[in-house]
A and B are shown apart, each in its own frame.
Chain A
Amino acid sequence: MREITLSKAVNEAIAEEMRRDPTVFLLGEDVAEAGTPFKVLSGLVEEFGTERIIDTPISEPGFMGLAVGAAMTGSRPIVDLMFGDFLFLVMDQLCNQAAKTHYMSGGKLSVPLVLRTNLGATRRSAAQHSQSLHALVAHIPGLKVALPSSAYEAKGLMKTAIRDNNPVVIFEDKLMYNDKAPVPEEEYLIPFGVANIKREGSDITLVATSSMVQVAEKAAEILAAEGISAEVIDPRTIVPLDEETILKSVRKTGRAIIIDEGHQSFGITGEIASRISEKAFYYLDGPVLRMGAMDVPVPFSPTLEDLTVPTPERVAENARRLMRGEVFDAA
């Protein structure tokens, strides 16, 4: 199968959906001529013109609000938010308007809107351009949240998002835009709420999101060399969350580590760990561990920045401690 970059996969998904459905359009900063700072959208304005690939002024609340209104009145906008950190600027439009309109209109209005943005540290972009803020929106009922872990997921999830009648936020890892993965030529969609078992194993379950899936897979390789069999699960969407696949795995292995690049406290890792503890308690042979980003602003110093995110080595070390039956203190 051909291999393409995550950038190209997103570009293809958007182009295919725009060809299929004339109500789909895209807006954001530097999306048309510049094709975004990451060059993800290059070539789209040439095909679809500036009526459907719209460069906006630098006003995230403005164009986000515009997109919510367009979605309520029959269009299917894709909003391009240059950095995930800018989510803080669109909170009212996204969380108070887009997420609640369907509910508050008694189902008379819907908001078929996609917000595509990014997450991920270690790009030396400092504290205001490196955050992974998906937990913020996952907390809000009415929003769906997708976290593609490779080019394959990026394309299939984007197409599903565009066809969804509800607001969907897709976070791409900005360090993975040039990563290649096998992507079929023919059309496919990836349904929401269906996890992918990336690797089967019997001793410990590693649930990982976005680029942390690669981290978990590398950790699983390290562990395999030591005779520890790790299962790696990629939920692909955290809202909706495929709880059953995760629980089934943990019932089998009795141990779990949740790995995500958002800050560890009050985040995705805690939510998934909690559901496991509630629903698979009597199958657990050790505490469920969370591994998120350190609870600090992302440092600009490369040496410090690298220490703040989970690595394969640190995941493997925690897995070994669980396998040894070590006592984890409460801190």
Chain B
Amino acid sequence: MPHEVIMPALGMAQETGVLVSWLKRPGDAVRAGEPLMEVETDKAVMEVEAPASGWLTDVRAAAGDAVPVGAVIARIAQAKPDAPQAPPGPQAAAKEAEQPAPVAAPVAAPVAAPPAAPPPVATTPANGRIFASPKARRLAAEAGLDLRHLAQAGHPQPYHVADLAALRALAAPSGAAPCQIVARVPAAAVAGFVALMQAETGAAPPPGALAAGFACAALREVLAAGDAALTLALDRPGAPRRLLADPDRARFAAQPEAAAGAAPALILRDLSGGPFQHLRLGSDTGAAPVLSVAEQDGAFTLTLDYAPAQLSDEAAIALVAGLAARLAEPLRHLL
């Protein structure tokens, strides 16, 4: 004798319950007391337990159906059914269509066609203001690029980072291009070296001193300058320029100042500790090549800007390589 499964009354004054889901499939074996289905009432979704043990058959309600309390929605057979049980047929499906599913709304809700995108502002506004994202403005400023050139070229606004490539293409002058070499070196070795110095001498080297010493040594090697005096200008953001005399030949803590007005052989821009990642200078590198050292994400970025008249390409490459090697293995500097 099969046992009937009915829609239970879970609340007072409840007339129908919504079958949220079957937790067993037709033909599955069930034990009395095992969760059989989920039913939703006014405020709750609750699991309903199987009233008897056996096999679930004769399933008459599908997920989403609203069923009157007391109606038989399935049977639990005492014997295993022979044929696989078909799930509730089209009738249940049709009912489901009338009655929207009570939980987990289908995503197939009507979606209006997206409104047409407003056209980008095509020309420079009358007041000359240029529309650009803050990031695009910042990167352009850091790279010494002028967004007005894009506007003058008729490039549609607003400008984003992606538009800077077009600006770079515009900005690249045809004639005497400044030369630039960029290199990247892991910063871990320098950190270790600083820690060593801290331990040995009780004080970390002053800001920029390591880079100044290393760069001057690399330059001396490249220029084959021997014992000749080399002046190096050290620029750090927020600090006045320092002119150092042979900083590679002094202790880091006591690099001597050069005479005021001495012409530097190299301008070293120490940007480590700041947000800068990369700096491209204007075409005029002035009196001397400019070597910038930025530090970010555990690595130094070395950027050498120079004019062909100041350094040959080979010397420039050797200079960057020499500094990079010292930063990668600072103890070499002491040898």
Contacts and interface: CB of A to CB of B under 8 A. Distances in A.
Interface of A: 37-39, 82, 122-124, 129, 175, 177-178, 254, 281-286, 302-303, 305-307, 311-314, 317, 321, 324-327, 329
A254 B164 CA distance: 15
B134 interface: yes
Nearest to A322: B160
B251 interface: no
A285 B135 contact: yes
B102 interface: yes
Q: What are the 4 closest A-B residue pairs judged by CB atoms, nearest first?
A: A37-B44, A306-B109, A37-B43, A122-B105
B107 A312 contact: yes
Given A283-B134, A302-B105, A329 B118 contact: yes
Contacts of A306: 105-106, 109
12 contacts: A38-B45, A39-B44, A254-B161, A282-B138, A283-B138, A285-B134, A286-B160, A303-B100, A306-B106, A325-B133, A325-B163, A326-B117
Contacts of B114: 317
A123 B138 CA distance: 46
Nearest to A321: B117
B120 interface: yes
B136 interface: yes
Interface string B128-144: 00010111111000000
Nearest to A318: B114
Contacts of A305: 105
Interface in B147-169: 158, 160-163
Chain B interface SS verdict (over half): loop
Contact of A254 (B103, B106, B120, B135): B135
A262 to B, nearest CB: 18
The listed residue with most A CB atoms (<10 A of its CB), out of B46, B107, B133, B163, is B133
B134 A284 contact: yes
Contacts of B106: 306
B103 A313 contact: no
Contact of A307 (B109, B134, B158): B109
B111 interface: yes
Contacts of A313: 107, 111
Given A254-B161, A282-B138, A326 B110 contact: no
Interface string B92-118: 000000001011111101110010011
Contacts of A317: 114
Contacts of B104: 122, 175
Given A306-B105, A327-B120, A178 B45 contact: yes
A37 B107 CA distance: 26
A327 B110 contact: no
B34 interface: no
A284 B133 contact: yes
B171 interface: no
B47 interface: yes
B112 to A, nearest CB: 9
B44 A38 contact: yes
Contact of A175 (B103, B131, B161, B162): B103
B329 interface: no
A306 B106 CA distance: 8
B38 interface: yes
A281 B105 contact: no
A321 B115 CA distance: 11
A130 to B, nearest CB: 12
A254 B105 CA distance: 33
Nearest to B135: A285
Nearest to A312: B107
A123 B44 contact: no
A327 B118 contact: yes
B277 to A, nearest CB: 12
Contacts of B111: 313-314
Contacts of A286: 133, 160
Contacts of A82: 43
A33 B175 CA distance: 87
Interface string B9-49: 00000000000000000000000000000100001111100
A37 B39 CA distance: 12
B39 to A, nearest CB: 11
B86 interface: no
A177 B45 contact: yes
B161 A285 contact: yes
Nearest to B159: A325
Contacts of B158: 325, 327
Nearest to B11: A37
B121 interface: yes
Nearest to B21: A178
Contacts of B120: 325-327
A124 B102 contact: yes
Given A284-B134, A327-B121, A311 B107 contact: yes
